[in-house]
A and B are shown apart, each in its own frame.
Chain A
Amino acid sequence: MNNIIFLIFRRMRAPLLTLILAYSVAMLGLVLIPGRDGDGNVYYMDFLHAFYFVSYMSSTIGFGELPHPFTAAQRLWVSLSIFFTVVVWLYSIGTVLALLKDETFQRALTERRFARKISKLRESFYLVAGYGQTGEALVKALTDRTQHAVVIDILQERVNLLQLENLREYVPGLCADARLPEHLLEAGLKHPLCEGVVALTNSNETNLKIAITAKLLHPDIEVICRADSHDIEKNMASFGTDYIIDPFDAFALYLATAIQAPCLSLMQDWLSLGFNDLLSDPIHPPKKGLWVICGYGRFGKAVYDKLVKEDLEVVVIEAEPSQTGTPQTQLVVGRGTEADTLMEASIERAVGLVAGTDNDANNLSIIMTARELNPDLFVILRQNRKYNDPVIQAVGADMVMLPSDIIANRIRVLLGVPMQHQFVRLAMHQDDEWACQLISRISALVTEHAPDVWEVAFTEQDTHAVCQYVREGRNLTLGELSTDPRDRTSPLACIPLMLLRHNDFSLLPGPDLVVQKDDRLLFCGRVSAKHRMEWTLQNENALNYILTGETRPQGWIWRRLQKREVT
């Protein structure tokens, strides 16, 4: 606030001074010059009339000569003063208008408005730095789950885009450089309700700077960063960044899982879909044979490492090996878009192809050419730009890697259902057989839509009825909880995935498990099951019906009447 007032005052000093000076000179002249009234008597104009006359003269409104027609001497003075007062008037008005349009002034205004909006927030929120493809996808996902977000981006167009976006919750956005701590503070870094900072800008250095600022100024909050260089990742990890997401490594790991254990990767897939998305089909990347990787950049390297680890034969095609470095196995120099380069990499006998350059048009061309030479290829496509979706879908690759979607999805799970992230990590240590069984159990529950995943914390606030029941010293099993409160003979369409008790995780708890206070459970299943279970957790009567099959009288009078009947 102070800034703005001082800015106005400082700018207004010169024009105001000239205005005062011009007015007083013009007024003084009018007062001193003798005039004549209607009868020819000499009179001197008083200050009131002089001020009145100068005011309308300088603003060029002009009402005529007041209070009496002027003498020649007065007219001479007025014609002089018209010029300087009008100029001064225009100058001051012009300065005020220029100040209002001034960029510094406008910035100061917007920043102040933004900071005030943030300080008024009364619900917990995440601070998202960088509103590119990833940020957009993440903010959409967060607000769809009725979580709040605050966006900061360096480009005004992107912030404008945010305002046009039809989001479920209001998301304040500021156009500013997130590298400067002051802007992060304005965006609510120190706000008590700020739960985490997500750094998603396209520059590793900026993300690093945001992470370190957040960790220093508000050490308790979660910091999630995007990074695609291993050096920066180590640097971020060194000062305790909570999660670092590298889209290329994440995809390579996913691919390796898909090769080794297709069910595991399918399960991971299904759980991370939104509940409105359609279930995806399992993918089976070939486990044996020759793979051709086009492009040995960050993505190519990540995939290469994983494929080599799986003991697959790999040929790399790279146009500029001097810049990217050379792999240890066979290298073909070229872009991969021409048939002869692909032939040289023996595409005819290959089983898989990775089109992993940083140019979507080239990647599409590689796939089209390669398929002509070998139609049975398993094709992985790296998509760089979200807006290329229609062409990417038309080419029909077996797997598509879009970095922004991968990151947004990861973070959505991290922020929305933290236990799910833990579950997937633990599930990685299970064998494929385990995952296949779980997959078949899930597909029996849901129809064509993906399952919803939710957490239940057995606290007084979230599960009032259950806590009261447990406090009375009675046992309640998981099987009983997963019963439909409308019809106790049928179970709810949900599976308990994981139990967290005293910092211990146990996967797939059975129906005989007795729940305790402060347990946390992770479920997956239909959305309807989630809502019905909430009913049981909170409402004593619903819980009582599930346990006993009776509908207890709810009101005081009926309870009295029933007691009397019993006795």
Chain B
Amino acid sequence: MNPEKVLFGFFIVLALTLNFGFFVGELDNPDHHHVYELFAVVVVNLVATVLKFGDRTQMGAVLLATSLVALLQLFAAALVWTVAVHVTESGLTTVTMASIVSLSGGAMLANVVSVVLLIIETVMLRR
């Protein structure tokens, strides 16, 4: 058992599950999407991305790319949230909530790709 693989797999899957947890619920209902969950998703995704640094394989490069995409989407979602609440002071309207959740949905897609890639790699390297 390779502890590096365990840690790596853990964070990749955790990023996906947390992301899913934030995403489920009515798209435009602020009560269904908690800010703590978004925070956790961002942090876990950051960790998962950093864990891929320095991996010189082709698979590692693609995984890094998908993680970067997920991060980009999540940052956008967090930014929309912050701007809506603190800058424009319009509060969490259904419109902004919908865009935040759909952005995180995009991030989830990237995380799904990451997990699929991880599974493919594991299956290919059956050891």
Q: Which residues of A contact B109 (CB under 8 A)?
A: none
Q: What per-residue 1/0 map shows which CB atoms of A1-43 lie under 8 Å from chain B?
A: 0100010011111001100110010011001000000000000
B39 near A47 with CB under 8 A, answer yes
The reply to whether the CB of B51 lies closer than 8 angstroms to some CB of chain A is yes
B50 near A24 with CB under 8 A, answer no
The reply to whether the CB of B82 lies closer than 8 angstroms to some CB of chain A is yes
In the assembled complex, the Cα of A457 lies from the Cα of B43 at a distance in Å of: 73
| Cβ 8 A contact of B51, one of A13, A27, A28 | A13
Q: Which residues of A contact B51 (CB under 8 A)?
A: 13, 17
A16 near B53 with CB under 8 A, answer yes
B39 near A20 with CB under 8 A, answer no
B86 near A17 with CB under 8 A, answer no
| Cβ 8 A contact of B56, one of A6, A12, A16, A28 | A6
In the assembled complex, the Cα of A31 lies from the Cα of B36 at a distance in Å of: 9
Q: Give the one of B35, B39, B50, B51 with max A CB within 10 A.
A: B50
Q: Which residues of B contact A17 (CB under 8 A)?
A: 47, 50-51
Q: Which residues of A contact B43 (CB under 8 A)?
A: 20, 24
A240 → chain B closest CB, angstroms: 39
In the assembled complex, the Cα of A27 lies from the Cα of B46 at a distance in Å of: 15
A7's nearest neighbour on chain B, judged by CB, is: B54
Q: Which residues of A contact B24 (CB under 8 A)?
A: none
Q: How many B residues are at the interface, by size bracket?
A: 10 to 19
Q: Which residues of B contact A24 (CB under 8 A)?
A: 39, 43
B36's nearest neighbour on chain A, judged by CB, is: A31
In the assembled complex, the Cα of A31 lies from the Cα of B78 at a distance in Å of: 15
| Cβ 8 A contact of A48, one of B46, B53, B86 | B86
| Cβ 8 A contact of A28, one of B39, B47, B82 | B39
In the assembled complex, the Cα of A13 lies from the Cα of B46 at a distance in Å of: 11
In the assembled complex, the Cα of A27 lies from the Cα of B36 at a distance in Å of: 11
Q: Which residues of B contact A31 (CB under 8 A)?
A: 36, 39
The reply to whether the CB of A242 lies closer than 8 angstroms to some CB of chain B is no
CB-contacts of B9-65 with A (<8 A): 35-36, 39, 43, 46-47, 50-51, 53-54, 56
- Given A48-B82, A48-B86, is A13 in contact with B47 using a C-beta cutoff of 8 Å? no
Q: Which residues of B contact A182 (CB under 8 A)?
A: none
A2's nearest neighbour on chain B, judged by CB, is: B56
The reply to whether the CB of B85 lies closer than 8 angstroms to some CB of chain A is yes
- Given A24-B43, A46-B85, A46-B86, is A16 in contact with B50 using a C-beta cutoff of 8 Å? yes
Q: Which residues of A contact B86 (CB under 8 A)?
A: 46, 48
In the assembled complex, the Cα of A24 lies from the Cα of B54 at a distance in Å of: 23
| Cβ 8 A contact of B39, one of A10, A11, A16, A27 | A27
In the assembled complex, the Cα of A21 lies from the Cα of B78 at a distance in Å of: 18
A50's nearest neighbour on chain B, judged by CB, is: B39
Q: Which residues of B contact A16 (CB under 8 A)?
A: 50, 53
In the assembled complex, the Cα of A6 lies from the Cα of B50 at a distance in Å of: 12
A403 → chain B closest CB, angstroms: 47
B42 → chain A closest CB, angstroms: 9
B114 → chain A closest CB, angstroms: 18
B78's nearest neighbour on chain A, judged by CB, is: A47
B54 near A9 with CB under 8 A, answer yes
A99 → chain B closest CB, angstroms: 12
Q: Which residues of B contact A9 (CB under 8 A)?
A: 53-54
Q: Which residues of A contact B56 (CB under 8 A)?
A: 2, 6
In the assembled complex, the Cα of A24 lies from the Cα of B41 at a distance in Å of: 11
CB-contacts of B80-105 with A (<8 A): 82, 85-86
27 CB < 8 A contacts A-B: A2-B56, A6-B54, A9-B53, A9-B54, A11-B54, A13-B50, A13-B53, A13-B54, A16-B50, A16-B53, A17-B47, A17-B50, A17-B51, A20-B50, A21-B47, A24-B39, A27-B39, A28-B39, A31-B39, A46-B35, A46-B85, A47-B35, A47-B39, A47-B78, A47-B82, A48-B82, A48-B86
* Residues of A participating in the B interface, judged by any CB pair closer than 8 Å: 2, 6, 9-13, 16-17, 20-21, 24, 27-28, 31, 46-48
Apart from A9-B53, A9-B54, A27-B39, 13 more pairs, CB < 8 Å: A6-B54, A11-B54, A12-B50, A13-B53, A16-B50, A17-B47, A17-B51, A20-B50, A24-B39, A28-B39, A46-B35, A46-B86, A47-B78
